[in-house]
């Protein structure tokens, strides 16, 4: 079977319009300048509609979407149960002078669902959650330093960016310490050198940065980190914004067998409705209460209704198992198609959030070509980011994905005869 | 000195990125070549205390720069990076410590040569209307910027942080596939070679000399150019991500 190549003329036109009125046209992680669309002309820039596991771009091209809006689409776009809950709530009220009582119900559900949660503090974006978690840790410990693991991404506040990022000053990151992932001895040394000064260790539950294979922690890593934090009264913050609810509905710390002090959620909370939360242990409740930390829309009711419907549905369908099964089926097929065409397709990370890399060359050029050929035929991948499984993905979608991937492998192989003699 | 810049890094950029571009100026621009074509071999050393040291050699109508100034005919010492930077911005007049008999070369040839360089590096709108001038000027700017990236990555504190995240390998920055520079990263140290590499791990390629010029002059937004495909990135994009952070600082130093 041959799959027709998409054209993105209207996307290009919309991008031209956008670039006149929006800095860089589409800024941030959905934009073409993030190194995820290589070459950019093979990707759509704007969507028209979305349903289930698909979205259609402004040129009418249909994509099986493995980026899931970079995570928020967990049940499928326009999920009826979630959308109906949101619609019912919007009829009653959304952004009101007193918060709707549904906020309490949402917090109760999170406390019941998330292993480490004794309370929940709501906000809007992942960055709000990680920032709130850090402020809580500093308020509790009265210390200033933070430990990050290299390859991290914890949002966009200056304090969690890096010294060479535009707009960030050395003072913004002066209290940041950096350790290697999985390096317990290095972490111990850093703690020793900064004894009594570290407020928090903040980390993703596994190393899921961009541009490199994603890595689970070595056995015992988290338990050792947990013990060090407990021993030195350091707050252990897990940034589960990306992986949350895809590995374990009780939190990714629970998946890896340890307990965070604070865990941050966003993407998968409400199937695309805008909210985030950080949940913490009892001993941090007063510190969280003390923060001067709020926002105009942080207590809006509609996302809470969506969140309750979303989490209940994730529980009902045992979403983490479903994601693992679907992801495993997909990856098995992709690797097989790759091998049959002479490609070493490396898959890493959990199947629910799989990361892909073709290892035949050391420049990623083959990988980028293959990903672009897939996208151009209707499988929406990103060049160097982990991907996401959602619950609306079907076996038929997976089969079609593998067929497209197989054709894309053949095209790339044909384009690089010098590498496949 | 502005915040977030340091004089020593600027001195390295001025030495190897600005004065170093005389190599290419003499090759590309007949007006420059005319000045030195009949010159007997001569070398000028620039010795900056607490900063870079390099020598410009003029021979057979060509110019080349080498690090260090152990063996030079004329030696210009500078007591600090700030003093050397003053030479480049025209506020400091150097006094040779060696080679007084070659003063005439400094006055009659070297100074006119640097005037030609300034004409091409800080080009007027009028001059840029000439397509030949436009091409030469843009090419020279690319060489200066390419060398400045390495100097910032090796010397500037924030630049070193960016360089510390660049993996080993070759990076191509160029205009299509014929005009460009190679950045070689090894153990987080950067070296610039002023020609396209045969093989690279990552590339940032401008679709035209006009795009490159507009970007250098700050007339277009780099991210928008990436979005429209006027600047193409491929290969190990994480290498480019960190180079771009250094490029942001190049604009600061060369402003």
Residue B255 has pLDDT above 90, yes or no: no
* pLDDT number for residue B95: 87
**How far does the CA of residue B53 sit from the closest CA of chain A (Å)?**
27
Domains B7-122 and B126-254 in one fold: yes
Separation CA A410–CA A399 (nearest Å) = 17
- Asked if the Cβ–Cβ distance from A164 to B201 is below 8 Å, we say no
- Asked if the Cβ–Cβ distance from A365 to B234 is below 8 Å, we say yes
Separation CA A268–CA A389 (nearest Å) = 11
Separation CA A345–CA A412 (nearest Å) = 13
Q: CA B194, B198, B203, B204 torsion: positive or negative?
A: positive
- Asked if the Cβ–Cβ distance from A38 to B224 is below 8 Å, we say no
Q: In the structure encoding, which two tokens stand for residue A82, read together?
A: 């979630």
The model's pLDDT over A185-207, given as tens digits with 9 standing for 90+, comes to 999 999 999 999 999 999 999 99
The CATH classification of domain B7-122, taken from the options 3.90.1640.10, 2.60.40.3710, 3.30.1050.10, 3.30.1360.20: 3.30.1050.10
- Asked if the Cβ–Cβ distance from B226 to A33 is below 8 Å, we say yes
> How many Cβ atoms are within 10 Å of B93's Cβ, its own excluded?
7
Residue B1 has pLDDT above 70, yes or no: no
- Asked if the Cβ–Cβ distance from A38 to B233 is below 8 Å, we say yes
**How far does the CA of residue A265 sit from the closest CA of chain B (Å)?**
27
- Rounded to 5 degrees, φ, ψ at A329 are -60, -45
The CATH classification of domain B126-254, taken from the options 3.40.50.720, 3.40.50.9100, 3.30.830.10, 3.30.1050.10: 3.30.1050.10
pTM score: 0.94
| CB-CB neighbors (< 8 A) of A364 in chain B | 234-237
The model's pLDDT over A115-130, given as tens digits with 9 standing for 90+, comes to 999 999 999 999 999 9
Of B221, B233, B240, the CB nearest to A24: B221
Separation CA A307–CA B209 (nearest Å) = 51
CATH class of the domain defined by A9-65+318-419 = alpha beta
Separation CA B229–CA B214 (nearest Å) = 15
Q: Which of B32, B223, B51 lies closest to A28, judged by CA? A: B223
| CB-CB neighbors (< 8 A) of A25 in chain B | 223-224, 227-228
CATH class of the domain defined by A80-316 = alpha beta
| CB-CB neighbors (< 8 A) of B235 in chain A | 363-365, 368
- Asked if the Cβ–Cβ distance from B202 to A363 is below 8 Å, we say yes
- Asked if the Cβ–Cβ distance from A31 to B229 is below 8 Å, we say no
| CB-CB neighbors (< 8 A) of B169 in chain A | 362-363
| CB-CB neighbors (< 8 A) of A16 in chain B | 228
Domain boundaries, chain B: 7-122, 126-254
Domain boundaries, chain A: 9-65+318-419, 80-316
Separation CA B140–CA B133 (nearest Å) = 11
Separation CA A387–CA A355 (nearest Å) = 6
Q: CA A213, A219, A222, A224 torsion: positive or negative?
A: negative
For residue A42, give the chain B residue with the closest CA: B229
Q: CA B187, B189, B193, B195 torsion: positive or negative?
A: positive
Contact residues of B toward A, CB < 8 A: 4, 157-159, 161-162, 169, 200-202, 221-224, 226-229, 232-238, 240-242, 245-246, 248-249
Of B229, B240, B245, the CB nearest to A39: B229
- Asked if the Cβ–Cβ distance from A368 to B159 is below 8 Å, we say no
| CB-CB neighbors (< 8 A) of A382 in chain B | none
Q: What would you report as the CA-atom Rg of chain B, rounded to the nearest whole angstrom?
A: 18
| CB-CB neighbors (< 8 A) of B237 in chain A | 35, 38, 211, 364, 383-384
- Asked if the Cβ–Cβ distance from A211 to B236 is below 8 Å, we say yes
> 3-state secondary structure string, A309-363?
HHHHHHHHCCHHHHHHHHHHHHHHHHHHHHHHCCCCEEEECCHHHCEEEECCCCC
**Per-residue tens of pLDDT for chain A, all 421 residues:** 699 999 999 999 999 999 999 999 999 999 998 899 999 999 999 999 999 999 999 999 999 999 999 999 999 999 999 999 999 999 999 999 999 999 999 999 999 999 999 999 999 999 999 999 999 999 999 999 999 999 999 999 999 999 999 999 999 999 999 999 999 999 999 999 999 999 999 999 999 988 889 999 999 999 999 999 999 999 999 999 999 999 999 999 999 999 999 999 999 999 999 999 999 999 999 999 999 999 999 999 999 999 999 999 999 999 999 999 999 999 999 999 999 999 999 999 999 999 999 999 988 999 999 999 999 999 999 999 999 999 999 999 999 999 999 999 999 999 998 888 7
| CB-CB neighbors (< 8 A) of A363 in chain B | 169, 200-202, 235-236
- Asked if the Cβ–Cβ distance from B227 to A211 is below 8 Å, we say no
H runs (alpha helix) in chain B: 7-12, 22-28, 30-36, 81-89, 103-105, 111-121, 125-128, 131-155, 157-163, 209-216, 222-228, 237-254
B157, B223, B227, best to mutate vs chain A, most A CBs in 10 Å:
B227
Peptide bond into A340 cis (omega under 30): no
Q: What would you report as the CA-atom Rg of chain A, rounded to the nearest whole angstrom?
A: 22
């Amino acid at each position: 079977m041959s799959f027709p190549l998409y054209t993105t003329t209207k996307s290009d036109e919309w991008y031209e319009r956008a670039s006149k009125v929006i800095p860089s046209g589409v800024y941030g992680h959905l934009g073409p300048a993030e190194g995820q669309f290589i070459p950019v002309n093979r990707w759509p820039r704007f969507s028209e509609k979305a349903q289930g596991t698909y979205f259609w771009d402004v040129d009418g091209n249909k994509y099986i979407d493995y980026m899931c809006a970079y995570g928020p689409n967990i049940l499928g776009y326009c999920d009826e149960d979630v959308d109906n809950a949101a619609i019912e709530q919007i009829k009653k009220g959304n952004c009101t002078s007193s918060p709707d009582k549904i906020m309490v119900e949402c917090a109760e559900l999170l406390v019941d669902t998330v292993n480490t949660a004794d309370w929940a503090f709501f906000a809007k974006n992942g960055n709000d959650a990680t920032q709130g978690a850090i402020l809580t840790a500093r308020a509790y410990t009265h210390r200033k330093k933070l430990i990050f693991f290299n390859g991290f991404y914890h949002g966009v506040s200056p304090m969690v960016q890096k010294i060479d990022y535009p707009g960030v000053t050395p003072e913004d990151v002066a209290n940041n310490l950096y350790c290697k992932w999985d390096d317990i001895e290095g972490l111990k040394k850093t703690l020793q050198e900064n004894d009594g000064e570290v407020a928090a260790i903040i980390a993703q539950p596994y190393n899921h940065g961009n541009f490199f294979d994603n890595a689970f922690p070595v056995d015992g890593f988290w338990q050792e980190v947990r013990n060090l934090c407990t021993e030195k009264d350091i707050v252990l913050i897990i940034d589960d914004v990306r992986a949350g609810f895809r590995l374990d509905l009780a939190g990714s710390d629970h998946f890896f067998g340890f307990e965070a002090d604070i865990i941050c959620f966003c993407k998968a909370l409400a199937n695309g409705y805008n909210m985030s939360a950080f949940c913490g242990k009892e001993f941090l409740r007063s510190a969280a209460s003390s923060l001067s930390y709020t926002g105009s829309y942080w207590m809006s009711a509609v996302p809470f209704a969506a969140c309750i419907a979303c989490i209940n549905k994730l529980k009902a369908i045992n979403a983490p198992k479903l994601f693992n099964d679907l992801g495993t089926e997909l990856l098995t097929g992709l690797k097989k198609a790759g091998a049959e065409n002479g490609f070493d397709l490396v898959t890493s990370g959990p199947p629910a959030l799989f990361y892909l890399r073709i290892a035949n060359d050391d420049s990623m050029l083959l990988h980028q070509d293959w990903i672009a050929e897939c996208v151009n035929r209707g499988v929406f991948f990103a060049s160097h980011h982990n991907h996401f499984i959602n619950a609306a993905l079907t076996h038929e979608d997976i089969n079609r994905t593998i067929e497209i991937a197989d054709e894309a492998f053949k095209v790339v192989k044909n384009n690089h005869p010098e590498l496949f003699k | 000195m502005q915040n977030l810049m340091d004089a020593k890094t600027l001195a390295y950029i001025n030495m190897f990125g600005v004065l170093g571009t005389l190599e290419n100026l003499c090759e590309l621009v007949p007006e420059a070549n005319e000045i030195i074509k009949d010159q007997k071999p001569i070398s000028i050393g620039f010795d900056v205390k607490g900063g870079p040291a390099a020598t410009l050699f003029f021979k057979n109508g060509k110019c080349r720069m080498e690090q260090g100034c152990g063996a030079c005919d004329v030696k210009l010492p500078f007591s600090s990076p700030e003093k050397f930077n003053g030479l480049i911005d025209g506020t400091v007049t150097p006094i040779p410590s060696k080679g007084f008999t070659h003063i005439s070369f400094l006055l009659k040839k070297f100074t006119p040569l640097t005037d030609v360089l300034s004409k091409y590096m800080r080009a007027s709108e009028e001059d840029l209307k000439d397509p030949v001038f436009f091409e030469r000027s843009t090419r020279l700017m690319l060489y200066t910027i390419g060398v400045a990236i390495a100097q910032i990555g090796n010397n500037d504190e924030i630049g070193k942080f960016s360089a510390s995240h660049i993996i080993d390998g070759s990076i191509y920055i160029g205009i299509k596939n014929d005009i460009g520079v190679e950045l070689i990263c090894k153990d987080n140290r950067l070296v610039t070679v002023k020609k396209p590499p045969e093989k690279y791990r990552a590339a940032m390629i401008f679709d035209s000399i006009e795009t490159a010029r507009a970007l250098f002059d700050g007339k277009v937004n780099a991210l928008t150019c990436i979005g429209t495909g006027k600047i193409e990135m491929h290969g190990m994009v994480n290498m480019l991500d960190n180079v771009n952070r250094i490029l942001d600082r190049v604009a600061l130093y060369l402003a």
